[in-house]
Structure 1
Amino acid sequence: MTNTSFIIQKTAEFVKQTLKTAESGHDWWHILRVWNNAKRIAQTENVDFFVVELAALLHDIADAKFNNGDEEIGPKTAGDFLKSLNVDAEITEHVQQIIRHMSFKSSFDAVGFTSEEMKVVQDADRLDAIGAIGIARAFTYGGFKNREMYNPEIEPDFSLTKEAYKNSAAPTINHFYEKLLLLKDKMNTKTARKIATQRHRFMEHYLEQFYAEWNEIK
């Protein structure tokens, strides 16, 4: 019989160690928040908790944007680790598929895979991209990439392709319109939609305040 508690513990330890020097918007604390939100959402859904927890823990183990755009390094790293713990092949493949298809950039493609477990983990990850923490993460990553906070001469692009999204160097404020403000309506579960509504409203208030302060510049 699979000792799921042991595997979850070892996975958490592996992720925490692997991401100890990660950019702070995609570090262990991000993983912990997503993990906790995934468990919270999963309580109201008919899902395999073991798959949900593994996918939540491993979803950013090797994010493509920090690995030269390699979209297979994450699933491979996760798969190799789970195989080292002798996790069932079907579960391992499910976790890899979730990691492969759950990101926002994947939404630009035709649906290649989905599952109830992916919907839960996807919602948990998207919740961490909005609200107060989502704002902090956006500006942290923007600073990491040396992007402008805001440039009124550069309009948001509402017709981005996947490649354009991946290669965008637009100011961080544009990211609100190109992704963050879109996430509320992309939530899969009732629990996530409820949480997202409040966080979305906070972002709207933040933007109002940001523009009010920006427009004081003369």
Structure 2
Amino acid sequence: MDQEHVIKQAHEYIEPFFEEDVTGHGVDHMKRVALWAKRLAIQEEESPFLAELAGLLHDLDDAKLSSNTQRAKADRKAKLQAWGLSKENCDRIENAIETVSFQKGRIPQTMLGKVLQDADRLDAIGAVGIARTFAFGGAKGQKIHSKDDGEKTSISHFHEKLLHIKEKMNTDTGRKEAEYRHKTIERFLVEFERETMV
């Protein structure tokens, strides 16, 4: 199996699903997650090929993005098989993708799952994470900020989720990068609070 060709096919496959996305889950997100998953996999002696492939395909059946998650999952598995992956590697990728979600709170049991989850979480924090948070909030009609502490806003999302990500990383390399990106978020929130104290 020509791994480079499979990666190229995966890029082409995801393009129509995410090219029009305005929620921060576009093709650029898939590519960043794929590259970070590959980088982390190399550090953790996991297959960089499987990690990159899982990164490219990880959001196809996300309930926030897909109207038919079961169909999307079945289609992804069929594509993996058509590209020549063994049943074992198809299952490894599917298992890793099943544990990637922050909301479900699952802890991956495999190294492939750990590097994929870390890669996805890294893209939720730092400068890119800040941009994605406001893109998602805007696309969903969410306010940027509210004086009402109970209201769901883009800023409340930082406190409810993003500021806790660094504590939940699985790999040393992922943890170090998360620490750096966490500081970017903290600096942003301090400045945001200063500018909105009117």
1:166 aligned partner: none
| Equivalent residues in 2 for 1:92-171, closer than 5 Å | 92-107=90-105, 111=107, 114-155=109-150, 170-171=152-153
2:160 aligned partner: 178
DSSP-derived class of the 1:154 partner: coil
* Cα separation, 2, equivalents of 1:73 and 1:128: 26
* Cα separation, 2, equivalents of 1:41 and 1:101: 16
User: Is 1:195 the equivalent of 2:165?
Assistant: no
Percent of aligned pairs with the same amino acid: 36
User: Is 1:80 the equivalent of 2:78?
Assistant: yes
* Cα separation, 1, equivalents of 2:74 and 2:131: 29
CA deviation after TM superposition for structure 1 residue 24, in Å: 4.7
1:147/1:172 contact within 8 Å kept: yes
Q: 1:114 to 1:78 in 2, by over 3 A?
A: farther
* Cα separation, 2, equivalents of 1:152 and 1:115: 42
Aligned partner letter, 2:159: Y
* Cα separation, 1, equivalents of 2:196 and 2:190: 10
Q: 1:152 to 1:60 in 2, by over 3 A?
A: same
Aligned partner letter, 2:182: H
What is the CA deviation profile of residues 67-96 of structure 1, one whole-angstrom value per residue up to 9, with x for unaligned ones? 35x554543232121122232111111111
DSSP-derived class of the 1:188 partner: coil
Q: How many residues align?
A: 198
CA deviation after TM superposition for structure 1 residue 21, in Å: 1.5
* Cα separation, 2, equivalents of 1:59 and 1:181: 23
Q: 1:72 to 1:179 in 2, by over 3 A?
A: farther
CA deviation after TM superposition for structure 1 residue 32, in Å: 1.1
1:75/1:100 contact within 8 Å kept: no
| Equivalent in 175, 193, 197 of residue 211 of structure 1 | 193
What is the CA deviation profile of residues 112-141 of structure 1, one whole-angstrom value per residue up to 9, with x for unaligned ones? x52101111111110000011101100100
In structure 2, list runs of 5 or more residues that go unmatched.
Answer: none
* Cα separation, 1, equivalents of 2:22 and 2:94: 23
2:59/2:65 contact within 8 Å kept: no
* Cα separation, 2, equivalents of 1:11 and 1:95: 13
In structure 1, list runs of 5 or more residues that go unmatched.
Answer: 157-169
Deviates more, 1:132-141 or 1:2-11: 2-11
2:42 aligned partner: 43
